[in-house]
Amino acid sequence: MTHRQLISRTRRLKRAFFNRPTLDVAPDLLGKIIVQKLDGHVLAGKIVETEAYLGNGDRAAHSARGRTRSTEVIFGPPGHAYVYLCYGMYECLNLIAEPDGEAGCVLIRALEPLVGIKQIQQRRPNAKRLRDLASGPGKLTLALGVTRSRNGVDVTRGELTVRELREPAVFDIVQTTRIGISLSHDLPYRFYIKDNNFVSKP
């Protein structure tokens, strides 16, 4: 898909989309498109896998121990990005849900690259196949060039945005347990598009 086609076939998500319970926003983000403008290039991918991290009773969430400087964004207004450093090396992208003052965010775990694939491939020299380009939370931030400089930005406008197809595709959603956590690992807060090849772990 070209940048021009992307703009004509999609529209930006509004804040109301994010101003809802995290467990509603997480599955609804599947099929939506992340667009990153970087160095004059447009890089974009379809969301194929997400995880919800809640404010109450979810001990795996970064917000579980309350409001600190690093978790401030999670408690802030919906429709913003929360980007943090994972394992000292990789950045992970979350989108904030819930009304202002309440914690809740959605980890973006995998993308299907759509626009700027050539640039994405240059950013991901270790990826051998197309399906390896953004099939993981650390991979997709490398692929699109999303760093902590995007922490706290408004994704309803600006250089990092989320868009939806004017004519949505139809797909089945699988709901299962989250990956890579020890606390609250039994909660079924992971969602992905069934039979999609770009999911991190089916």
Partner DNA sequence: CCGCGGATCTTCT
Partner DNA sequence: GAAGATCCGCGGA
Q: What is the DSSP annotation of 69-90?
A: TTTHHHHS-SSBEEEEEETTTE
Size of the site for DNA (CB under 7 A): 40
Exactly one of 28, 49, 51, 98 binds DNA (CB under 7 A); which one? 51
**C-beta of 101: minimal distance to DNA in Å?**
17
Please report whether residue 126 would count as binding DNA according to CB under 7 A: yes
**C-beta of 2: minimal distance to DNA in Å?**
26
| Closest CA relative to residue 44, chosen from 159, 174, 153, 191 | 159
Task: Check if the beta carbon of residue 101 is closer than 8 Å to that of residue 74.
Answer: no
Please report whether residue 196 would count as binding DNA according to CB under 7 A: no
**C-beta of 168: minimal distance to DNA in Å?**
25
Q: Which is nearer to DNA, 167 or 186 (CB)?
A: 186
Please report whether residue 130 would count as binding DNA according to CB under 7 A: no
**Taking CB under 7 A as the criterion, which residues in 138-167 touch DNA?**
138-140, 142
Beta strand ranges found along the chain (DSSP E): 10-12, 33-38, 41-54, 81-86, 90-96, 104-115, 160-165, 173-176, 190-193
Please report whether residue 60 would count as binding DNA according to CB under 7 A: yes
Please report whether residue 136 would count as binding DNA according to CB under 7 A: yes
Output Rg (C-alpha) for the chain, integer angstroms. 16
Please report whether residue 124 would count as binding DNA according to CB under 7 A: yes
CB neighbours of 57 closer than 8 A, spacing ≥ 6? 184
CA 109 to chain centre: 6
| Closest CA relative to residue 123, chosen from 148, 146, 143 | 143
Q: Which stretch binds DNA (CB under 7 A): 39-47, 81-89, 163-171, 189-197?
A: 81-89
Please report whether residue 89 would count as binding DNA according to CB under 7 A: yes
Binding residues for DNA (CB under 7 A): 51, 53, 60-63, 65, 68-71, 74, 82, 85-90, 92, 94, 105, 107, 124, 126-127, 132, 136-140, 142, 178-183, 200
